[in-house]
Every structure is written in structure tokens, then in C-alpha cells.
Structure 1
């Protein structure tokens, strides 16, 4: 999961070919059919101007591999290779519960996988609402904030690293239609997942000073589009970060080095190509 969540986290924004007709109309439709062996095939494009070696094109096959009452799990690429799509990585790493109007996820989300030198743990998501068919536009479906501190050996000096994150999911719009891979789907739910992160430390220079490592910023933004009777048809993810310039300068001044990039931006777009719904 580590490689794909930078290919999920340190990509999903603009949707091409979407209808401009958005409204607050709610729906009781089925936006994720849960039958064993239901399958979705996605094309995946991963691009990064800051790190071209992350550029690739791939395909993912997502399959429901277990169903118990209204709970289910999914498998990507038959479990033989990691998921290439950001949201497909998400799908393969947790359990789902489908209620009358909501789809709820329980599992872990790994962030900042490119910065192993920093103690950034997975975010544990509990009762994370992926969508609610009865939600109006701009309704927040989920929010969680947490903070923790861990001592880290940073270039021979033990530093207390404090991390604060907020993760949200918002119902943005209901779209009348959306065209993906030359197929037009109707009755669309659009949601947006955001992860905001802030990292700081305290450095002893004969006296303690507080120093930002990563100023508060959205390091992950995912726009998801679900079609009635189909499921997820498109997911656009952007994963990016920029280290604090003063922190970089401070490390350089004292002869230290960073074992990870100082900035990065990656876009990951997955689009439905075909599906088999039972």
C-alpha cells in the first residue's frame, strides 16, 4: 500500500465531460451494487511533473470477493499485484458496510509514504462515510482530527516530531450525467475527500525553538463520482506536499541532509472502462 498511496499521497481533481446541471436532489438509488464477484475495470493514469519517474499508465480490476449481509470486502487485481489507482488502493484495504442511503468504510489510510524518516502513521478510519444518497450539496459526511508526538533520530539529534491531521469527506453535488471513457452515466454523486496535515518540531539551539517542518496544507484531495446502479465511475486524486523553507535551510546550515523529497505533486486518475454487475 505504501507505493500506491504516494501514487496516493505525497491523486483527483477536475472532471472532464461532466454535466453542468448540479442540484440538491437526493436519491434512494443503489450507488454500489454489492453482489459477490461484481467486477469493475479501470484505466489508471499517474502523472507527476516534479517526479517524472512516477508517470505510468495501467489498469486495475476490482472485484467484490466477500459478502456477509450488508458488509463486504473487495480485492484488486486478484490480490497478485498492488492497486494502481488511489481509490482502488483504498478499496483493497478495508471493509465496507452498506446501509439504506450510505456506504461506510472501516480501515487504514497511509499518508506521506515518501517521508519514512518522519513518524507519520496510517490514519485509522472508523465509520468513514463514503457517500450518503440523501445528502444535500456541500454537506460534510465525515470529519476527524488527531495529533500525536514521537521522538525521532534526525541526523543524530533526537527531535520531538508533532503531527496534526484532519480528514474530511464532503458531498459536493448531484450531477444529472457524466461522460467517462465515451460512456455517459446518469444520476451521479460527487464527493471530495481531503487530508490536511501539519508537522512541527522543537529544536535545541542552546534554547528551545519551535520549527514547522510541514506547514498546514491539503496533502491529499480526492474527487469521487458514483453512478446509480453502477458504483464508482471516476476518481481524481492529487497528492502533494511542500516542506517549510526555513526548516530546509536550517537542516542545510547545520550540515544535515534529508532522506526524502522537499516537495512533490502527483495526479492519479482512474476511470471506469467496463463492468460486470450481477
Structure 2
């Protein structure tokens, strides 16, 4: 059996403007040939890599691969940016094309293609769900962010949205409030664990009819905000479709990562029904066994 191979990628990089120290995108670990690792070993590898998530390719055959995802602290059901990174890693090995990833949330269809000299990957999320966000829970969340209901965009009401992970989605009306809010990571983490929000807390500001900026709160270890969140992007597309705030088929653009010095760009295609398609690139950071 092949030994596991660790690779590191930055997923969804926005190359139009570099962040701090020239960094872009969301770092993800990708461990190929990981079938011999048990849960404790995968968790230890993810903690050693230190990124918000690492994807482990447990098994692979023609057109199909089995994945699990771990943060430095626990297994997570799904991770969009690590999925994109894994798809790019496999395309680099085998060439672009279609593949299905079997994940803890079900099968995820992937397509990779050459875009000039880059590989672009697209995943289609699992079937989304959108539900009301209880007023009491919303009040607690806003309080932890130093916000009130008056800060919300009245045209975009809060919801909980699922496209692989559950995310609360709140949209702020004012760009300055969006930029300035702060939070205590431990308190937000406690609420996320209580509510089983296995993804991120998704806070948005609408830049234009089809363009948003996102801050995705993900307190885990030394990390507080995620630079790019594929599952949240899919959940945002599902949220907009459920509320009738776009006319499918439609594409929205999500900017993320500016607040943590790693600009990222996510393209979200929203069909009339079914899974949401999220697209982006990934660039390799380092390699090692």
C-alpha cells in the first residue's frame, strides 16, 4: 500500500490583489493515499498541518474517490475549499475531468478543466436545505458580534442554510459595520457547538445585485475567520434561491478573505433546483511526504 503523501494548497485565490505578504486564498491540506490512517492519525496529521481543514483521500478508483475532512480539533462533515484543493491535486496527477467524491454528507460531483495554465474545479453541493433562524438564537448571535437587528439588511432576512454544513446566514446593510464588527472566538465557538453549526457563521454584505462580500467566522485553535468557504458559498446560493432573491439559473460572485489578509474569490452558480455549483482554482503551497 502506498504511503500517505501530504500536499498543501491555497484554494479560491483572488489573484487580482495580493493580501498580507502576498498571500491569497484559503490554505487546505490534502493527504493522498490515506487509506491506512485511522481517525486518531488523521486528526493528528490535520493538527500538525494546522490549517482550518485537511482532506484525506481514503480510496480512489476510476472516476471516484472517498474523502474525509478534519480540522485541527475534530472531524467535519464537509469542507468546500479542501474539496476544491483535492480536485486540483488529483487533476494534476491524472489530468482534468469528472470525478465523484464520496463524503460524509453524500456523493459530491466534481469537474476539473484547464483554464489557460490553471486548473479550475467545480463541485455540486448536496441537496440544500434552508430554515428559519429563531429570533432568540439570532439575538444571541448578533450580541456576540456587537450588532443589533437594526444592522441587518431588511431585504435579506437571516436564515440557517445547509449545503453540506449548517451555516447561519446574516446580511448587514452597512459596509462600515460589516468591516468593523468584532467577536470573542470562544463565545462564538460555544454557540456554534450548541447549535450544531458545523460550518461557519456566515456574515455577508451585498456589493451589488449579483455580488457579495463574506466574512465567515470559524473559531478553531488559532484561526478565527476563514479566508474562503466553499460550503458557505453553496449555502449562500441556496439561501438566495429559497428566498426568491435571484432568478435561476444565476451566478453570484463572493469575495472573501480581505479581513484576514488572504483575498479569495468564489463563483457560485445557482440552478433552478438541486445542488449549488461552486467554482474556483487552487495553487500549491508546498509538498511533502
Query: Which structure has the greater CA radius of gyration?
Result: 1
**Does the pair score TM above 0.5?**
no
Scaled by the length of structure 2, the TM-score of the pair is 0.30
Q: Which has the higher helix share?
A: 2
Q: Which has the higher strand share?
A: 1
Scaled by the length of structure 1, the TM-score of the pair is 0.31
